[in-house]
Amino acid sequence: MRYAILGDIHSNWDALDAVLRHLDGQQVDQVCCVGDVVGYGAQPGKCVRWVRENDIVCVAGNHDRSVVGKLDLGYFNRHARQAVEWTRRKLSIANAEFLAGLPLAKVINNLSLVHSTVNEPDAFGYIETVFAAQLSFHAMNTPVGFIGHSHVPIAFMETGTQDSVTYSHSTELDLRNVHKTIINVGSVGQPRDDDPRACYCVYDSEAQTAEIHRVEYPVEVAQTKIRRVGLPELLAARLELGR
C-alpha cells in the first residue's frame, strides 16, 4: 500500500489544499495525519472538517488536545496560547468532539502513528537526537513509525542492533535493509526548516521506500487570513521564513 502521511496542518487550509492537489498524482491508498490539525492558522474548522469527512487516520497533537481542554495552556508560549484560545472560540461542537476523541497513538497495518514520541506520547517531547530516537525505538513494536511535532523532516533508522541508530535528512529513503525507522514528516502548515513550502511524506509499504515532498502554496494568502482574524503577527510573518 501507498500511504500519505501529513502532520502539523495547523489550521492552514491554503497549505493543506495545495498538498491535496499534489496528492492527486501520488496514487496513495490511505491518508494519515500525525496530529496538530489546529493551532496557529486562521481556518481550523475547515481543516478539521476535512479530516473528519475523508477517512483520515489521525492521532492527536498537543494543540489538538489543548483546544479541547486536555492539555494545560501553560505548556505553550504566549503566541501559541492566543491561537489556542482563539481556536476554542471558533470550533463547532462536532469539530471539538472529533478532536477530543483522537487517540495519542495508533497502529495501522503495522505502522505506528504518534505526534511526538512513541515511549511517552502524552508528554509531547521531541525526537531530535539519536538518544531520543532510541527511547522510542525501544517502545515501538512496528518496523516503521511516523511522527511530527518539531515541524522538521528527518528520519531515524535502527540499522542493526537495538542501539545502532543513524539519521538522515534525505528526501528519498530506501528502508529495505533497516530494522526500524521513525520518520518525522515535517509540517504541512508551518514548516520550520527554513523552507516555507508545505511538507508531507509518501510511504510505499511494498517497495519499502519513503519520500518527502515539498509543495508550493500561496503563503501570502494564509498570512492575510491570519492578520485579518487578529491572531499574533508572528504567526503570519514566520510562514514566509519557514521557521
Do 137 and 143 form a contact (C-beta atoms < 8 A)?
no
Condensed to tens digits (0 to 9), the pLDDT of residues 64-80 reads 999 999 998 888 899 99
Cβ neighbourhood burial of 118 (10 Å; 0-12, 13-18, 19+): buried
CATH at residue 155: 3.60.21.10
Instruction: Indicate the pLDDT class of residue 25, thresholds 50, 70 and 90.
Output: confident
What is the average pLDDT score of the chain? 96
Q: Where in the sequence is the domain holding 42, given as residue range(s)?
A: 2-240
Classified as helix, coil or strand, 34 is: coil
pLDDT at 164: 87
pLDDT-derived band at 159 (thresholds 50, 70, 90) equals confident
- Which amino acid does the sequence have at 221? V
Helix axes 44-53, 93-100, angle to 10 degrees: 60
Q: Indicate whether 162 pLDDT > 70.
A: no
pLDDT for residue 74: 82
Q: Would you say residue 163 has pLDDT above 80?
A: no
pLDDT reading at 112 higher than 80: yes
Domain count, the chain: 1
Contacts of 33 (CB under 8 A, 6+ apart): 5, 6, 7, 9, 51, 56, 57, 58, 59
27-31, 43-47, 162-166: the lowest-pLDDT one: 162-166
pLDDT in tens, 117-156: 999 999 999 999 999 999 999 999 999 999 999 999 999 9
The angle formed by the CA atoms of residues 29, 34 and 36, to the nearest 5 degrees, is 130
Mean pLDDT along residues 2-7:
98
pTM, two decimal places = 0.95
